[in-house]
Structure 1
Amino acid sequence: MEILRVAILDFCGRRKEKSFCPSEVLRQMFPEDWELFMPDIREVMMAMYREGLIQVSQRGVPVNPFENPNGPVRISGVRKPK
């Protein structure tokens, strides 16, 4: 779902250094039915993580990019070297 990829990258740009929950993206896009899209955004999120476009963490620790994480996760943009 290309629209979810764009929305995640948009959130990364607006949040700068701050992480966010995937549900925050969906709540903005689909205020009434956001929960229906959680499996979709998690799939897109992990694909983007494997591509190196974003970071995905749980309790501040990066998740394994080749396993689907259980429980809440946070997304953040990739930090560029200074």
Structure 2
Amino acid sequence: MEILKSAILDFCRRRNTSSFCPSEVVRSMYPEDWRLFMPDVREAMMELYREGSIQVTQKGIPVSPQELPKGPVRISKADKPK
């Protein structure tokens, strides 16, 4: 799980202000078997989101941190505290 968290954070760093789909992370790591890793990357994504390390949105609206979202989501850098 830690490798997926690291990969998500690396994508955030590289994308800077652009959001991305969790599938992009696992596609880059496991091009042939990426679908097998979708549940894992979504779990890692939600752990990082609950920690405040990233933002997770669906149709531009932040998802609930208590529930695993259904359907497509986007990941981006966490907003900096003001």
Q: Confirm or deny a common fold (TM above 0.5).
A: yes
CA distance in 2, matches of 1:50, 1:81: 15
- Cα deviation for residue 81 of structure 1 reads 4.9
The aligned residue for residue 2 of structure 1 is 2
The aligned residue for residue 42 of structure 1 is 42
Identity of aligned residues (%): 70
Single out whichever of 71-80 and 5-14 deviates more from structure 2: 71-80
- Cα deviation for residue 80 of structure 1 reads 2.2
CA distance in 2, matches of 1:81, 1:3: 26
- Cα deviation for residue 78 of structure 1 reads 1.1
The aligned residue for residue 19 of structure 1 is 19
Unaligned runs of 5+ in 2: none
Cα deviation digits, residues 34-79 of structure 1 (max 9, x gap): 0000000001100110000000000000000001100000000113
Matches within 5 A, 1:71-82: 71-81=71-81
CA distance in 1, matches of 2:47, 2:5: 9
Q: Specify the SS of the correspondent of 1:68.
A: coil
CA distance in 2, matches of 1:54, 1:64: 13
Root-mean-square deviation (CA, aligned residues, Å) is 1.0
Residue correspondences, number: 82
Unaligned runs of 5+ in 1: none
TM-score normalized with structure 2 length: 0.96
